[in-house]
Structure 1
């Protein structure tokens, strides 16, 4: 029954509630795929807020939904027109996969073109491309990587880009030590009528994942791992003004 209710919410017609540009929306729903075709990777990911009945275009998330599972949607209403996919665009937006199964559903294009694929703004360059040496002077600095809800998996391109920039700077700056602190959003919150909280231990998993990555990329540099539960939101720009995303993080601190 729960699965059926979630599916109905995902396929509900657009609600009459209006969303204001810049408004933060957060909900849980089954994602729906629209089979638009403007070339490779041009299909649309859509999700309906069960509280308002309003369907949103969540295609611009740096990590994509899986239509077999529900997603936690977090994003801000964009002023962009609905034309590409037919629904209100969320940008920035995140779609974290949750361990709740959904029934797959695909919509036809219905005249909507989708988006022509282009490289994401956070796009790591091939290793064959020389990195510019960051200018000094160098001092203590923090780089932050981000994660999906309750996971420690590095997000393709999004985290790769941040880590690549951090490693390029660290190689030039030559700090004495790195301290990686993982965080977990373990304080319970209610979203779409459900109470959710990350596992406290995911803070340690995130710290150790990033620390191991840095040890492989920067052999010989001491790397210490720490972790904290009960993470609070931050204003780091790479979280794109999404409070929940800023909580699910690991910080890399370079010490001199």
Structure 2
């Protein structure tokens, strides 16, 4: 049986207007291991105003429904998703699922049926401007103090993508650019990683192209050049299947941290 058969049944039931049993949403466990699974996403159309809808994901591993709304990348109704995250401590259930935060969602190529749930009394999550939000470059900011220190910034990517993720990767790419400009860096080393060793998650084999590491590094390097960092001071490197990272922005999620670019700014 296909791993997505239960989701297809859900979509069919929704299309027919049938009553659906509630998916289990128990309280968060005392400890929160890193979860990783592939599934079809479900959208809950809450009625608490614009942008209050929720994205839910049912895990094939434990049969539980998780709230993945807080991921920087939102699911695509038509595609399967790779979910990576940890159960949040103390988050209220406003969507009908165990809240994952931090959480990352990567949209995969596999097709999925569309599935939408009504509000069913869940208020959803009202939009709030994230803390990782790029500010205009002309705004006053505190400049680094001398002596300047070498710093390394992490830039994070979805599985299989070289797209700079909005309000996550773009924020840290921007911060690396500003730091390099503020200290007039003598050298900026940009190293891209991709995960080229196949991994099996929920019965699906996940692997990245070796060239993806270079494309990720080039995307970040192009951003720095456009910001005004001199091209002759930028060095681009690649690596594959490297170690995990705990740089700022990884949010303690080890598996997603392998899909990254590191920007080493040298005074």
TM-score (norm 2): 0.88
Q: 1:63 aligns with which of 73, 85, 105?
A: 73
User: In the alignment, which residue of structure 1 is the partner of 2:208?
Assistant: 198
User: In the alignment, which residue of structure 2 is the partner of 1:179?
Assistant: 189
Q: Which sections of structure 1, spanning at least 5 residues, go unmatched?
A: none
- Structure-2 separation of matches of 1:18 and 1:84: 13
User: In the alignment, which residue of structure 2 is the partner of 1:213?
Assistant: 223
- Structure-1 separation of matches of 2:201 and 2:61: 10
1:1-256 maps to which residues of 2 (within 5 A)? 2=2, 4-5=4-5, 7-8=7-8, 14-15=23-24, 20=29, 21-221=31-231, 222-256=233-267
Q: Which deviations, in whole Å up to 9, do the C-alpha atoms of 1:16-55 show, x marking residues without a partner?
A: 8876242211100011100013222110000000121101
Deviates more, 1:81-90 or 1:179-188: 81-90
| Number of equivalences | 256
Deviates more, 1:15-24 or 1:142-151: 15-24
Q: Which deviations, in whole Å up to 9, do the C-alpha atoms of 1:85-141 show, x marking residues without a partner?
A: 011100100000001111111100000000111011211113442333222321222
Shift of 1:237: 3.0
- Structure-2 separation of matches of 1:19 and 1:253: 38
| Structural RMSD (CA) | 2.2
TM-score (norm 1): 0.92
Q: 1:177 to 1:98 in 2, by over 3 A?
A: same
Q: Which sections of structure 2, spanning at least 5 residues, go unmatched?
A: 12-20
